[in-house]
Structure 1
């Protein structure tokens, strides 16, 4: 079994059960027909950065690490402000030229923001291509992103 699939299952197990020790994870995976060793689970626990939280009874259980909530639009605004070169829109497409190395980060932040106008993004080293659902949506996205960096 691939590591990513196994770790996804571990996450599900943690959400559905109270897990006190790594052996409990091994047992739950074995019950699903997935044979793993405790050593494998130990590596997964470390890689997934699982944490042990106290329970009301004084014992400890495994949990996923808490993720810091980030303001995606603020991060996008900051990143785009620092890297913006130019933009253009044509039909359902919107292209942003950015400083070299910034394209993947900007594309990823646009995806994380889950703008309803965006079908998909593609970011290379210095370009971000935004695929919108319509020409109107592409225009909206260009304006929205330019307004984020006070250029609109």
Structure 2
């Protein structure tokens, strides 16, 4: 049983999209109804928007909802093996730019590590936004109060990601290395 809060409903939607290939809002509504969650189409639309849901096109031509914030690395690799193409390739960049602009004050690189500075108290929020996105070559983050350590797969990726991060938080159009 779930509480009837928006947070619980959003969590149920995340779980449904992670466990099933959901092609329509009607299918998603049915999956939620099986859990005792009744939702109108308008509310479901707003919830999907709040979750930054988008649709993937799979190799077989079918479309299914996908939420970047809840897709782990194994699921991304499995989806890539199936051949999906994310519509709106820069959607993740735009989302991160919206969240991180004004929060990142500097980026320094030490081999495969990036040290990212933020205002006091903002590092965990910014790191969480980065962790929830499928960013090629980034293994993870560690956050303190005003510093984030980003671990990249190798030195080359770290260099590329440092430039990419500064590009998206500077509001420039070119979002390289995506």
TM-score using structure 1 length: 0.56
Q: C-alpha distance in 1, partners of 2:102/2:95? A: 11
Residue 134 of structure 2 corresponds to residue 101 of structure 1: no
Q: 1:145 to 1:111 in 2, by over 3 A?
A: same
Contact 2:112–2:154 (CA under 8 A) maintained in structure 1? yes
CA deviation map 1:11-66 (0-9, x unaligned): xxxxxxxxxxxxxxxxxxxxxxxxxxxxxx3xx33352479xx9xxxxxx334864
1:115 Cα shift?
0.7
Secondary structure (helix, strand or coil) at the match of 2:106 reads strand
Unaligned stretches of 5+ residues in structure 2: 14-25, 27-32, 39-43, 53-90, 173-178
* C-alpha RMSD of matched pairs (Å): 3.2
Q: 1:145 to 1:89 in 2, by over 3 A?
A: same
What's the counterpart of residue 133 of structure 2? 113
Secondary structure (helix, strand or coil) at the match of 1:84 reads coil
What's the counterpart of residue 79 of structure 1? 99
Who wins on radius of gyration, i.e. which is larger? 1
What's the counterpart of residue 136 of structure 1? 156
Q: Which stretches of structure 1, 4 residues or longer, exceed 4 Å deviation after superposition?
A: none
Q: C-alpha distance in 1, partners of 2:141/2:170? A: 22
What's the counterpart of residue 15 of structure 1? none
